[in-house]
């Protein structure tokens, strides 16, 4: 089956590619193995020069790269530009900070000298999603390459041109041939790649089923894995919150990337004393979002990335309504060409409905009324996911409880959940394990090697 690039705004086939054969995949891994031997001897400062060049290329070619994103997966052009520029920031972050992160750490012991050094693991396979087709890759690529690893990318099958563009950018930035390669393969071929003895580790950003499959195989083969999976992030609003700012941010947090983000707020839990006013303003805000051609500068929401995603979201909403939920606005797919779904707000979603525990990957919000802070925390944690949470209160005691008791990888107080190169990113529970970004993300694919020197080799301690 061909790997097809299809414009989700109009259904037009852009390009198609034949998946690599087993022999071709082996040749790619051979090249990665050869590159790893050479790349290990390249000084860190030279890697940093290449990484800064990569950042410059992203900035210089933002418009063309953003157009590729928009055509392949429907992201509004403004957001696509911002995604490319964010990739440049993560490149510069690791170019500037890799040296202190990778520096050996002396540890006082009874030995003459002991320390921890950080060594790259080797070839790392990245299985990446379509919703942020550059950013998701670069938040793996930048730390992995700066640490001395080499990368293989199995990108989502609907964004092959993004995958090819990223490989080209890395090569043109000066990284050696084979240091980073895109594998245009089908999902069924991933198992054989992981099984290759030369693959040291694997990282997955994507759905829960994909994470389970890869983690199971990696565990069986005793290979390191990092999973960043789905989320059903709570957005809690308590009486002391700045209600106007909370509502404005809530609409943006639900509609980011047309609702197709793992850290988009999906469940809005509002204290009963302000619930009615929040609901009224939130529904109005969702209705004001401009849905349409992602190429237009004033578009807020573009199409969903594929017809399958549109069908699944429509099915989830229908099942929720059949279970007793009430639609306050939206609730249906938009007629005409393209994978468009109306901005939707649901309330009275019963806990007995399976969708209560699922991730809604599109512009659909669920509203819940909380009687007090205890009830709000109970609702927020009543999910199999644990990625991020946004909580709105100006009460310092409430803030302390929220930070302590919310079960997730990140808590943002009076702000929207977002990723930042300087901060660890990842989740708990069914949202996965391990971290990306910051020093923690770089060290996921490093060997923390303990070195103990009982007696000095000469008259002085080694440098």
Q: Reduced to 3 states, what is the DSSP secondary structure of residue 244?
A: helix
| pLDDT above 70 as % of the chain | 98
Q: Reduced to 3 states, what is the DSSP secondary structure of residue 440?
A: helix
pLDDT of residue 117: 97
* Confidence class for position 21, pLDDT limits 50, 70, 90: very high
Per-residue pLDDT, averaged over 286-302, amounts to 97
Gyration radius (Cα) of the chain, Å: 23
pLDDT per position as a tens digit, 30-41:
999 999 999 989
Q: Are 427 and 385 in contact (CB under 8 A)?
A: yes
E runs forming strands in 12-155: 13-17, 105-106, 113-120, 123-127, 150-154
Task: Choose the weakest-confidence range: 37-41, 72-76, 80-84, 154-158.
Answer: 37-41
Does 210 score more than 60 pLDDT?
Answer: yes
Among the listed residues 72, 228, 359, 444, the single catalytic one is: 228
- Provide the whole-model pTM: 0.96
- Neighbouring CB atoms inside 10 A of 97's CB total 18
> Which overall architecture, per CATH, does domain 233-413 show?
3-Layer(aba) Sandwich (3.40)
Is residue 162 among the annotated active site residues? Answer: no
**What's 296's DSSP letter?**
S
pLDDT of residue 40: 85
Q: Are 406 and 428 in contact (CB under 8 A)?
A: no
pLDDT per position as a tens digit, 366-401:
999 999 999 999 999 999 999 999 999 999 999 999
* Confidence class for position 188, pLDDT limits 50, 70, 90: very high
Q: Which residues pair with 182 in a beta bridge?
A: 153
Left (φ > 0), alpha (ψ -120 to 50) or beta: where does 206 sit? Answer: left
The Cα-based distances of 300 to 95, 286, 400 in angstroms read: 33, 11, 35
pLDDT of residue 456: 77
| pLDDT above 90 as % of the chain | 97
Does 138 score more than 90 pLDDT?
Answer: yes
pLDDT of residue 203: 98
Q: Are 281 and 405 in contact (CB under 8 A)?
A: no
Q: Please classify residue 258 by burial: count the beta carbons closer than 10 Å to its beta carbon, then call 0-12 exposed, 13-18 middle and 19+ buried.
A: buried
pLDDT of residue 432: 98
* Confidence class for position 459, pLDDT limits 50, 70, 90: low
Per-residue pLDDT, averaged over 4-33, amounts to 98
User: Distance between CA atoms of 264 and 130, rounded to whole angstroms?
Assistant: 15
pLDDT of residue 1: 77
**What's 127's DSSP letter?**
E
User: Distance between CA atoms of 431 and 426, rounded to whole angstroms?
Assistant: 8
Q: Reduced to 3 states, what is the DSSP secondary structure of residue 230?
A: coil
Contacts of 148 (CB under 8 A, 6+ apart): 39, 40, 42, 47, 119, 120
pLDDT per position as a tens digit, 319-345:
999 999 999 999 999 988 999 999 999
Is residue 262 among the annotated active site residues? Answer: yes
pLDDT of residue 366: 98
Asked whether the domain spanning 233-413 has the same topology as the one spanning 3-229+431-451, the reply is no
pLDDT of residue 97: 98
Q: Are 182 and 167 in contact (CB under 8 A)?
A: yes
Q: Are 322 and 348 in contact (CB under 8 A)?
A: no
Does 81 score more than 90 pLDDT?
Answer: yes
Q: Are 226 and 200 in contact (CB under 8 A)?
A: no
180 is written with which tokens?
């980073």
pLDDT per position as a tens digit, 226-279:
999 999 999 999 999 999 999 999 999 999 999 999 999 999 999 999 999 999
Q: Are 123 and 36 in contact (CB under 8 A)?
A: yes
pLDDT of residue 325: 98
**What's 221's DSSP letter?**
T
Among the listed residues 262, 358, 359, 436, the single catalytic one is: 262
- Report angle CA 224, 230, 232 to the nearest 5 degrees: 140
pLDDT of residue 460: 56
pLDDT of residue 73: 98
| Residue-averaged pLDDT of the chain | 97
Q: Are 437 and 139 in contact (CB under 8 A)?
A: yes
Q: Are 95 and 38 in contact (CB under 8 A)?
A: no
Q: Please classify residue 263 by burial: count the beta carbons closer than 10 Å to its beta carbon, then call 0-12 exposed, 13-18 middle and 19+ buried.
A: buried
Which CATH fold topology does 3-229+431-451 show? Answer: Aldehyde Dehydrogenase; Chain A, domain 1 (3.40.605)
Count of residues in the chain: 463
Q: Reduced to 3 states, what is the DSSP secondary structure of residue 72?
A: helix
Per-residue pLDDT, averaged over 181-207, amounts to 97
Phi, psi of 122 (to 5 degrees): 135, -125
3-state helix, strand, coil in the chain (%, to 5): 45, 20, 35
pLDDT of residue 79: 98
Nearest one of 54, 40, 429 to 233, comparing CA atoms: 429
Structural domain boundaries in the chain: 3-229+431-451, 233-413
Does 175 score more than 60 pLDDT?
Answer: yes
pLDDT per position as a tens digit, 424-438:
999 999 999 999 999
């Amino acid at each position: 089956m061909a790997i097809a690039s299809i414009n989700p705004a109009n259904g037009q086939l852009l390009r198609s590619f034949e998946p690599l054969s087993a022999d071709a995949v082996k040749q790619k891994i051979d090249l990665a193995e050869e590159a790893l031997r050479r790349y290990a001897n390249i000084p860190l400062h030279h890697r940093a020069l290449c990484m800064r060049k990569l950042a410059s290329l992203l900035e210089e070619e933002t418009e063309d790269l953003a157009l590729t994103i928009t055509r392949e997966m429907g992201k509004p052009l403004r957001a696509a530009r911002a995604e490319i520029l964010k990739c440049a920031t993560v490149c510069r972050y690791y170019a500037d900070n890799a040296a202190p992160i990778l520096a050996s750490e002396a540890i006082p012991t009874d030995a003459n000298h002991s320390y921890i050094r950080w060594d790259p693991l080797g070839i790392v396979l990245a299985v990446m999603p379509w919703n942020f087709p550059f950013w998701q890759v670069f938040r793996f690529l930048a730390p992995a390459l700066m640490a001395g690893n080499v990368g293989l990318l199995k990108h989502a099958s609907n964004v092959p041109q993004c995958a090819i563009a990223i490989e080209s950018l890395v090569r043109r930035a000066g990284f050696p041939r084979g240091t980073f390669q895109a594998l245009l393969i089908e999902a069924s071929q991933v198992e054989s790649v992981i099984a290759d003895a030369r693959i040291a580790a694997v990282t997955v950003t994507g759905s829960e089923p994909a994470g389970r499959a890869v983690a199971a195989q990696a565990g069986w083969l005793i290979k390191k894995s990092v999973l960043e999976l789905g989320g059903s992030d709570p957005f809690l609003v308590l009486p002391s919150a700045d209600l106007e700012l909370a509502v404005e941010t809530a609409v943006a947090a639900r509609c980011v990337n047309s609702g197709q983000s793992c850290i988009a707020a999906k469940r809005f839990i509002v204290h009963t004393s302000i619930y009615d006013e929040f609901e009224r303003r939130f529904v109005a805000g969702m209705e004001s979002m401009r849905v349409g051609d992602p190429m237009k500068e004033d578009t807020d929401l573009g199409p969903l990335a594929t017809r399958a995603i549109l069908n699944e979201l429509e099915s989830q909403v229908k099942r929720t309504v059949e279970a007793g939920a009430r639609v306050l606005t939206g609730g249906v797919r938009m007629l005409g060409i393209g994978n468009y779904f109306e901005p939707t707000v649901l309330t009275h979603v019963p806990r007995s409905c399976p969708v209560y525990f699922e991730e809604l990957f599109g512009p659909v919000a669920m509203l819940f009324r909380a009687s007090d802070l205890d009830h709000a925390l109970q609702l927020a944690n009543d999910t199999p996911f644990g990625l991020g949470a946004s909580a709105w209160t100006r009460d310092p005691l409430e803030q302390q409880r929220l930070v302590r008791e919310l079960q997730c990888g990140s808590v943002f107080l009076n702000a929207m959940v977002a990723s930042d190169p300087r901060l660890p990113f990842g989740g708990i529970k069914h949202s996965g394990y391990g971290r990306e970004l910051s020093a923690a993300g770089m060290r996921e694919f490093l060997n923390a090697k303990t070195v103990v020197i009982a007696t000095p080799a000469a008259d002085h301690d080694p440098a």
